[in-house]
Amino acid sequence: MSSHQQQQSYKAGEAKGHAQEKTGQAMDTVKDKAQATKDKASQAADSARGRTHDAKDQTGSYLDGAKDKASQTAQATKEKASEMAESGKETAQAGKERTGGFCRKQENK
């Protein structure tokens, strides 16, 4: 193999390594954001449950409506967090696929 071919092969391998590292970093970022969103949703649900419990202590008739509302809010928050996490995963996967295509093109040259 000529020096030029070795250099091209090295550069292609280096580009692939960089792309994989960036993809890994992007996926870590998405995972971190998804986890933070889930944590916030959980905190919101816990807070809603706490407020519902306090309301129950203050008035029994208010409880049914507040409990339903808190439950709906908690469920909606969890669903939104799950949707955001899924969207992040899809974005990371799309980025990984794009960088993988770039690396394969470099290797084929």
pLDDT digits (tens, 9 = 90+) for 79-103: 888 888 888 888 888 777 777 655 5
Domain around 76 = 3-108
How many domains does the chain contain in total? 1
Confidence bin at 55 (pLDDT 50/70/90): low
Q: What is the pTM of this model?
A: 0.40
**What is the rounded average pLDDT of the residues 22-47?**
86
Q: What is the 3-state secondary structure (H, E, C) of the chain?
A: CCHHHHHHHHHHHHHHHHHHHHHHHHHHHHHHHHHHHHHHHHHHHHHHHHHHHHHHHHCHHHHHHHHHHHHHHHHHHHHHHHHHHHHHHHHHHHHHHHHHHHHHHHHHC
| Most confident by average pLDDT, 12-16, 53-57, 94-98 | 12-16
